A and B are shown apart, each in its own frame.
Chain A
Amino acid sequence: MPSATRRSLLHRLAERAGRVLAFLWSGWAGLAALCLLAAAWQAGHEAYGPFILTSPLDTVAAVAALASDPEAWAIGALTLQRAITGFVLVAAAGTALGVMAGYSPATLRLTGPLITVLMGVPPIAWIVLAMIWFGGSDATVRTVILISALPVVFMGAARGITTRDRGLDRMAEAFGAGPVQRFLTIGLRQSTTTLFPALALALGTAFKVAVMAELLANAGGIGGALADARINLDIAQALAWVTVSVALLISVEYTLVHPAKAEVDRWRRAAQPWGVKR
């Protein structure tokens, strides 16, 4: 029945377009919040003067100046590349390890205290260690991202597997699914409930840690640019780079994380009352 499939495809496409429109509409709320922030910022600027806090407009002008500078684009791209590769690394490693631990309670019990120890080590210590090992290179930044975000992703994946509905596993088995099929269609899909928030958190961590590691390891990128701004006491430049890094993170979140999450959580949205959706 190709007509039925076509209809359901159209239905899904229409639903997806509706989701984009609803998202754009929710942009008004974001705009209002940004205006509030700018007003508070302006008040701070007027109270403390331009040497402590440049006005939002001056900062925007500095960002615009950066936008027309090809060198600034290269700096931004370097940090973006490091953050994304670090994130991909931690997502792959954390998910794989977490899933394995989720299926093996003994491993999970062993890794629990390990994770606690890892989480207890301040990220700055990892930066120092990575600097000694790799110098001021991409590897330093990636290593720090990997180590600081790994516990979150690992726990997200492991918890997703351990808290899965075993009834569904049993159902799949009753209908003839082998262990691999059960893992792919049931286990992995169920673990997204806890894995996705963990990945979103890891992405944010990746950007913040990348900038921090760049600054401390003198490895260029946005962190390096921030270090230069500090040396020159150029507050407008510093704020401009902060704005750029926030903008990078937000744009990656809305092009990567949110669409994937919306697709996976379609059924959850279906359960929400109308007032929560808009």
Chain B
Amino acid sequence: MTALTLDGVGHAYLGRTILEDIDLAVAPGEIVALVGPSGCGKSTLAHIAAGLTNPRTGRVRRGYARHAMIFQDPALLPWATTAGNIDYGLRLAGVSRRTRSARIAKAAVQVALEPEDLQKFPVELSGGMRQRTAIARALAIEPDFIFFDEPFTALDVALRRRMQDLVIATCAAGRISGLFITHDLSEAARLAHRVAVLDTRGQGILGERLLAGAPGHRSDKAVFAWVQAALRQDPLFRHIHDVDERQIA
């Protein structure tokens, strides 16, 4: 039984084909990183997998009990405080009123939000704090599958590392599976079990690479060496290199 299976999934916007023939499976407790150049349909794929968008072709099978999603933008309710935003997910998950405040406090500590930040509105938070609120909202409902859509792009290097460690630890402790979308190969190499590469024009998954060892047990040196090797020698990752050039330009 897999946690998530995509079977020949395809999608089109206004007649323009975005995704075609995508096959992908995520095993229970496994984190699969999905990489690919900008605009190739990664977010669309995540939305289809999470059931927010109906695929035009193919089917999605979900073997998990409850998922959470961290979006590319934080998607916070502007009229609710940080605590209110985390509470929103808990309320939808049907968590009882009594346990909710304890869960909010716990999730806030996990993502390094101060207690006084909990009473602030999103407009009063920094971009990184907003994204951390979105992460806390996802973790608070204690899901067994998490969709990550480039969640750490707005964070600085130190905080990003800390959040990656948090994801690694939380997922390992709760045997949580996840689909982790990212541009950053070293991020993928740090926290995933497996890296899948999406085609530049969404024409299927180009290929997959299994990473040695469990996430969290890889040294920085090993991660760096893997990324260098992937970029230099592995034809699978040629497009990722293209994207980097495009981002600099």
Q: Which residues of A contact B (CB under 8 A)?
A: 1, 4-5, 8, 11, 167-168, 170-177, 181, 185-186, 189, 264, 266-268, 270-271
The complex places the Cα of A223 from the Cα of B164 at a distance, in Å, of: 70
Whether B75 and A168, one on each chain, are in contact in the complex, defined by CB atoms closer than 8 angstroms, is yes
The complex places the Cα of A264 from the Cα of B47 at a distance, in Å, of: 31
The 8 closest A-B pairs by CB, nearest first: A271-B123, A171-B75, A174-B69, A267-B121, A175-B92, A270-B121, A1-B101, A267-B79
Whether A167 and B75, one on each chain, are in contact in the complex, defined by CB atoms closer than 8 angstroms, is yes
Known: A175-B137, A267-B122. 13 other contacts (CB 8 A): A1-B102, A4-B105, A167-B71, A167-B73, A171-B69, A171-B75, A174-B68, A175-B68, A175-B69, A189-B77, A266-B79, A267-B79, A270-B124
> In whole Å, how far is A6's beta carbon from the nearest beta carbon of chain B?
11
The complex places the Cα of A196 from the Cα of B210 at a distance, in Å, of: 55
Q: Which residues of A contact B79 (CB under 8 A)?
A: 189, 264, 266-267
Whether A170 and B52, one on each chain, are in contact in the complex, defined by CB atoms closer than 8 angstroms, is yes
> In whole Å, how far is A250's beta carbon from the nearest beta carbon of chain B?
27
Whether B93 and A176, one on each chain, are in contact in the complex, defined by CB atoms closer than 8 angstroms, is yes
> In whole Å, how far is A78's beta carbon from the nearest beta carbon of chain B?
38
The complex places the Cα of A271 from the Cα of B123 at a distance, in Å, of: 6
Q: Which residues of A contact B83 (CB under 8 A)?
A: 8
The complex places the Cα of A267 from the Cα of B80 at a distance, in Å, of: 7
The complex places the Cα of A173 from the Cα of B47 at a distance, in Å, of: 10
Q: When the two chains form the complex, which single residue of A4, A11, A172, A266 contacts B101, counting CB atoms closer than 8 Å?
A: A4
Residue of B nearest to A2 (CB): B101
The complex places the Cα of A1 from the Cα of B98 at a distance, in Å, of: 8
Whether A185 and B88, one on each chain, are in contact in the complex, defined by CB atoms closer than 8 angstroms, is yes
> In whole Å, how far is B117's beta carbon from the nearest beta carbon of chain A?
13
- Chief secondary structure at chain A's binding surface: helix
Q: Which residues of B contact A186 (CB under 8 A)?
A: 77
Given A1-B101, A270-B124: A176 touches B92 (CB 8 Å cut-off): yes
* CB under 8 Å from chain A, chain B span 61-104: 66-69, 71, 73, 75, 77-80, 83, 88-89, 92-93, 101-102
Given A167-B73, A168-B77: A174 touches B123 (CB 8 Å cut-off): no
Whether A174 and B78, one on each chain, are in contact in the complex, defined by CB atoms closer than 8 angstroms, is no
Q: Which residues of B contact A185 (CB under 8 A)?
A: 88
Residue of B nearest to A167 (CB): B75
The complex places the Cα of A5 from the Cα of B102 at a distance, in Å, of: 11
Whether A270 and B120, one on each chain, are in contact in the complex, defined by CB atoms closer than 8 angstroms, is yes
Whether A175 and B88, one on each chain, are in contact in the complex, defined by CB atoms closer than 8 angstroms, is yes
Q: Which residues of B contact A175 (CB under 8 A)?
A: 68-69, 88-89, 92-93, 137, 141
The complex places the Cα of A175 from the Cα of B83 at a distance, in Å, of: 16
> In whole Å, how far is A236's beta carbon from the nearest beta carbon of chain B?
48
Q: Which residues of B contact A267 (CB under 8 A)?
A: 78-80, 121-123
Residue of B nearest to A271 (CB): B123
